[in-house]
Amino acid sequence: MTDHVPHKLRSDARDNRDRILDAARELFSADGLDVPMREIARRAGVGPATLYRRFPTKQGLVAEAFAEQLRACRAIVDEGCADPDPWRGLCRVIEKICELHARDRGFTQAFLSTVPGAPDVAGREYTVRAVAGLADRAKEAGRLRSDFVLDDLILVLMANKGIHAASSTTQVMASRRFAGLVIQAFEACPRHAPLPPAARLASAEPPGPPR
């Protein structure tokens, strides 16, 4: 009996942590990072004290909630940097990063956040430095326009975050087309390759006939 109780407590603690992270991801993705910690605790079915015991700061909760996405982001960048053709590698980074962020707007906000002391800063800075090096190589190869600056890629992520669609599938589809347009804009000598299929967005539908 005495051995069983500590094991059950550890199991309950893990369950609480998992519920908190699931609730945080859901709320951050739907409503952004301004969601109150008490609302996260309520959605997770735990008390505020339990939440703060596991995650004393919101920055720590954000970093842990999106740790998987940050690892995926780093893997995408590493794959692009490993490509012997820097322009092709950069194109793949833009395509995959836009899709990753289109699937989770909360992650985009967390990635772009500049909150001092946030635990995910090191991972984000690594990603930014790696993409900057890849862009320099693409410029040297004559494929990336010479006036490209890294802030342009941040602008792309901010614009990509603004894509809203009725479903996740349509949102990703729209993001892929947006990435195709961006790549053509970034290319030193655009070859106007065919764009990915267009997504049907509600805001782009023509108005109906007047009543």
In this predicted model, what pLDDT tens digit does every residue of 66-120 receive, in sequence order? 888 888 889 999 999 999 999 999 999 999 999 998 887 778 877 776 544 444 4
Q: For residue 156, what pLDDT band results from cuts at 50, 70 and 90?
A: very high
What does the alpha-carbon distance between residue 32 and residue 107 come to, in Å, rounded to a whole number? 9
CATH of domain 4-65: 1.10.357.10
E strand spans, 143-188: none
Lookup: tokens for 88? 């092709």
Q: Which one, of 127, 77, 96, lies nearest residue 196 by Cα? A: 96
How large is the average pLDDT for residues 168-191? Answer: 92
How large is the average pLDDT for residues 159-184? Answer: 91
| Topology match between the domains 4-65 and 67-200 | yes
Say if residues 76 and 48 touch (Cβ distance below 8 Å): no
Tokens 């655009």 correspond to 190
Q: CATH number for the 67-200 domain, one of 3.30.1400, 2.60.40, 3.90.1580, 1.10.357?
A: 1.10.357
Mean pLDDT of the chain: 84
Say if residues 91 and 180 touch (Cβ distance below 8 Å): no
| Statement: residue 5 has pLDDT above 50 | no
- Neighbouring residues of 117: CB distance < 8 A, sequence distance ≥ 6: 59
Model pLDDT, residue 9: 45
* Domain residue spans of the chain: 4-65, 67-200
Q: Which one, of 30, 36, 111, 129, lies nearest residue 70 by Cα? A: 111
